[in-house]
Structure 1
Amino acid sequence: MKSLYLVDKIIGRLLRAIASFCLAALFVIVLANVVSRYFQIWPMAWFDEIVQALFAWMVFIGAAALWREKEHFCVDWLGAILGESRSGVLLHIVVNLLSTGFLALMTWKGLDLTLRSRAVTPILNLPVAFLYASIPIAGAVMTAYSLAELCRSERTLFKPLNATTHETKT
């Protein structure tokens, strides 16, 4: 169990590091482009290609990091009303099943798109598949975390309703 916790911790740090690097690189490149255009120092024809790649990776990997930590925005008024009742747990399972299905489909279609892509970017000749690869990678991570959450929810659903510990009095 400790090894799974360690792997989870490493994945979390890696996801955050990639998203943070992409954000910092975007900031530096956009700033350099603004300065370059203002002072007409040097042309940055490759600017759009790098920005697109960094933005794609930041968005999808950042989404996976947020998914792992359950930090995505959600409207949970019905879940809050139902609480930890069987209905609340069942609602949580249904929502999780829908999320897992969507994420699995996103992963599959993203992988298909990545593998079919033969195009290269016009200036740097980078494979466009590199931009698309963030979709199946992030989707696979989010699907795995959704499946883990689904397993936890199922255990809660099948737990006895009034599970209390019986203590013997002396």
Structure 2
Amino acid sequence: MGKIIDWLSDLFDRFSRFTIVLLFAIAFVSVLYQVFSRYVLQGTYVSDAFPSIDFSVFTFPWMEEFIRYLFVWIVFLGIGVVYKRKGHAQVELLTAFLAKRWRRRVGIIVEMINAGFFLLLLVKGYSMLKLTNGQLSPSLQINMVWMYLSILVCSIICLAHSVASLMKEVRAQSNPDVEQSEPQSTELAEIEEPIKTKLSI
């Protein structure tokens, strides 16, 4: 069971990172086109050079709303990516003075609270979907369910990460010889190792 949860957590993480990069690329291109169409195609120089062409048809009024919705999805998917790596803000003033056994116990309690919160967010997110079903966005005229679906997806991803982390903490608690898992990702460790080597030199 633990391997399945870990596999789902890693799968959700890869999906989130790939989707964030894709959405960022789409948003970047959209912003560039919006600036180009507004300040170049509708500029006085282009209008004077091509007076017979109406360049206003190349300006899409819905693009600003489209970019805003892309960033909504980027933010909610990014929450799961940051949570898996324990990159969110944490108060470690009290746990730093605890023994390793008690730090693990506190970590289990914290993960149980987080899992409960994400489960509650999952239920409330589903209720929000039913409430907003049928509402249309002002410019794109798309169902607002697609926007509030980001809350539901975020809660599912974070719940999987939280359960996976909780099971790791429980296994570490039952086996005191196992070192507590570091919150840093392997990518960050690979980056920090050459820096530490240079500083020691």
- Asked if Structure 1 and Structure 2 have the same fold, meaning a TM-score greater than 0.5 normalized by the shorter chain, the answer is yes
Of 136, 154, 166 in structure 1, the residue corresponding to residue 170 of structure 2 is 154
The answer as to 2:115 corresponding to 1:92 is no
Residue 134 of structure 1 and its aligned partner are, at CA, apart by: 0.9
Tell me which structure has the larger Cα radius of gyration: 2
Q: Which has the higher contact order (CA 8 A, sep 6+)?
A: 2
Of 114, 130, 133 in structure 1, the residue corresponding to residue 129 of structure 2 is 114
TM-score by length of 1: 0.80
Q: Distance in 2 between matches of 1:3 and 1:11?
A: 12
Residue aligned with 2:116, SS: helix
Residue 91 of structure 1 and its aligned partner are, at CA, apart by: 1.4
- Structure 2: gaps spanning 5 or more residues: 43-54, 178-201
Aligned twin of 2:181? none
Distance 1:105 1:150, change over 3 A: same
Of 144, 148, 154 in structure 2, the residue corresponding to residue 132 of structure 1 is 148
Distance 1:121 1:139, change over 3 A: same
TM-score by length of 2: 0.69
Residues 9 and 157, structure 2, Cα contact 8 Å, conserved in 1: no
Residue 10 of structure 1 and its aligned partner are, at CA, apart by: 3.2
Of 110, 119, 123 in structure 1, the residue corresponding to residue 139 of structure 2 is 123
Of 41, 63, 84 in structure 2, the residue corresponding to residue 47 of structure 1 is 63
Q: Distance in 2 between matches of 1:56 and 1:3?
A: 29
CA RMSD of aligned residues (A): 2.3
Residue aligned with 1:133, SS: helix
1:142-162 C-alpha deviation (Å, 9 max, x unpaired): 1122122222222333446xx
The residue identity in structure 1 corresponding to 2:31 is V
- Structure 1: gaps spanning 5 or more residues: 164-170
| 1:2-151 pair list within 5 angstroms | 7-39=8-40, 40=42, 41=55, 42-85=58-101, 87-117=102-132, 118-151=134-167
Residue 33 of structure 1 and its aligned partner are, at CA, apart by: 1.4
Count of residue pairs brought into register by the alignment: 160
Moved over 4 A (4+): 1-8
Residues 79 and 92, structure 1, Cα contact 8 Å, conserved in 2: no
1:11-55 C-alpha deviation (Å, 9 max, x unpaired): 322110111111121111122212222122532211232112211
Aligned twin of 1:167? none
